[in-house]
Each structure stands twice: as C-alpha cells, then as structure tokens.
Amino acid sequence: MKHFVLKTTGYESLGVAGKSAAPGVNGPSSATKAMTYGADGTDNTMLSPQLIELYDKLHMIRTVNNRMWSKYGQERFIAARSGVKQGFAFRYNNLGLATTPLTEGITPGGSTVTREKVAFRVEQFGDYIEYTDQLDLFDVDNIKSQFIDILGDQAAHTLDVIVRDGIIGGTNVIFANGAADRAAVVTAGAAGAIAGLPTEADYSAASLRLRKAKAKKFKPA
C-alpha cells in the first residue's frame, strides 16, 4: 500500500513507497521519494503543472489600439431585407459671395446651385477564433469570454482602419517636402531621409487650405 503526504507550507512533500515514515521523523528516509515534476510517473512521483503552479485568475491588462478615425466618418443606416447594398447622398456646395450692391428696380441675375453625389456601398467584414470542445471543457480559464473580448477589440479597430483608408484615399492632399506622391513619402520615410518629413511651409499650406475649405477646429480627445 502506498501513502503520500501533499506539500504544504513548512513541510516537505514525501512519497512513501512500501512503508510509511517513522513516527516523529520529519524528512525523507531511504525508503521515501519526494514528489517531483517531470518524472516519468511510474513511481507515482509526478505532479501535473496545474498542481505545482499557482494560477492567478486576474488577467494581465491587454493593450488595445486607440480608435480616432471613426470620429470623422458619417454613418448611414440601411434597413435589413431592403434589397439595397449601395446608396448615395447629395452634398450641396456653397454659393459665392453676393458683394455687388442691388440696384432699385433691377432684378439681379441670381446664382446656380451645384451639388455633388457621394456614393457608398455596404460591405461585410469579420473574423473568428477556432478552438476545440476539449479546450473549452478542460481549460482552467473562461476562454470564450476572453475570445469575445479580443474579437470585439479587433472589430472596432478594423472599422477604424477602414474609415482611415477612406479618408486618406482622397486626392485633396499635400505631400511632405514637395514629394510627388504617397509612395515617394513612404520611401523617404522608411529610409530616414529628411525628404520624408514635412516642412514649415507644408504646415502653413495645409493650414491655409483648411481655412479656405471652412474646416472646423477640434480638440484632441
């Protein structure tokens, strides 16, 4: 018959094969073997990692991306089962200033309104995490709640990047340091060259263009 003493604070873990330790004796004898991790298990001296390691259920904080581009996009609602996958919206342009004084009895020529058509389409994006039923059954952690949290962060960041790509994909742009296109800016930036950095003149030109376009100022979040 085999007897085992589990490890507790202040005592040594003993595995006694064939006979028990003598009364009043604290410590291994020639007939005892300490419980160890990594043995082959044939002498009943192996403990699993879950028994010799402390599992802290308080998870470490996971870093997530800061989402900012979505603040500058506009949302549009399309009802389900409407048969619609794309749509458009009109944007009316401002009129020029009427700085000519009116003459009594004469009707001015008036102005013509122009508008732009802004099209949009519906697209789906998604992802999933594969895991087995045994992992869900035997794992010490609540993996499903963690996976849902991770996928939620991925979804929010994905939408933010999609909005960003739409914003920076326009043609109304100023390239740093007189670069010809985006590729030239990326190449110079990757090489660490000064040509990849914006100059004071670039900032002044961008500020002037934004003011002329009646851009609204905002405070960083």
Instruction: Report which of 6, 35, 1, 5 is spatially closest to residue 17, judged by C-alpha positions.
Output: 1
Render pLDDT for 87-102 as a digit per residue (tens, 0 to 9): 888 989 989 899 999 9
d(CA 63, CA 51): 30
Would you give the end-to-end CA distance of the chain in angstroms?
Answer: 70
pLDDT score at 151: 92
* Cα(4)–Cα(28) distance, integer angstroms: 12
Reading the block at residue 61, the tokens are 């904080």
- How many CB atoms within 10 Å of residue 52? 14
pLDDT truncated to tens, each residue of the chain (221 aa)? Answer: 444 444 444 433 333 344 444 444 444 444 445 545 444 545 555 555 555 667 777 778 887 778 888 877 777 788 888 888 888 889 899 898 999 999 999 998 899 999 999 888 888 899 999 989 888 888 888 888 889 999 999 999 998 999 888 887 777 888 888 787 878 878 877 777 676 788 888 899 989 988 988 888 877 65
| Closest to 13 measured CA to CA, from 31, 39, 32 | 32
pLDDT in the model for residue 48:
54
> Is the pTM of the predicted complex or chain greater than 0.85?
no
Helices (H), the chain: 49-52, 133-138, 143-168, 182-190, 200-212
Dist CA 2 CA 28 (whole Å): 15
pLDDT of the residue at 49: 53
How many CB atoms neighbour CB 32 within 10 A?
Answer: 19
> What per-residue confidence (pLDDT) applies to 7?
42
Residue 204 CA to residue 106 CA, distance in Å, equals 44
Domain ranges of the chain: 1-54, 69-73+84-168, 176-212
User: Among 164, 186, 165, 168, which residue's Cα sits nearest to residue 176?
Assistant: 186
Q: What's phi and psi for 184, nearest 5 deg?
A: -65, -35
At which residue do the structure tokens 């099209």 appear? 119
Residue 30: per-residue pLDDT: 46
